[in-house]
Amino acid sequence: MVTIAMPAVLRAYETRYADKTRKLAEAFGLKSGTPAEAVAAMNERLGIPPTLRKLGYKGGDLDELAEESHKSFFNFTAPFHPSVAEYRGLVEEVLGG
């Protein structure tokens, strides 16, 4: 699940942490593209689906999932704490619409 979510999370970080994203791209050895694109391509090569729905997960209420994600203890160590609305967008992307 983390690997499926990683491209969405990296895209969310790109605008907030441009310098760190650039350094990550360098560490990945990317000549073009973004770390999010590189992870998505790696997932595809490994046969990892791009969304949880492709794994058969039906999902739940997006607002409830976003609210619970916003309250998660993982936010205490994250570089930024997305708003409920931002989490809703991330959850929707990871689930697959």
SS3 content of the chain, % helix, strand, coil (to 5): 70, 0, 30
How distant, in Å, are the alpha carbons of 4, 39, 44, 49 from that of 56?
13, 21, 17, 10
Tell me if residue 51 falls in helix, strand or coil: coil
pLDDT, position 75: 85
> CA 49 to CA 64: how far, in whole Å?
24
Q: Please tell me the predicted confidence (pLDDT) of residue 40.
A: 97
Q: Does domain 2-95 have CATH number 1.20.1090.10?
A: yes
- Which pLDDT score is estimated for 29? 97
Q: How far apart are CA 50 and CA 5, in angstroms?
A: 8
Domain boundaries, the chain: 2-95
Going residue by residue through the chain (97 aa), what tens digit of pLDDT does each one get? 889 999 999 999 998 999 999 999 999 999 999 999 999 999 999 999 999 999 999 878 899 999 999 999 988 888 888 999 999 999 999 999 7
The pLDDT value recorded for residue 10 is 95
- What's the burial of 42, exposed, middle or buried (CB within 10 Å: 0-12/13-18/19+)? middle
Which pLDDT score is estimated for 78?
85
- Cβ atoms of 90 and 12 closer than 8 Å: yes
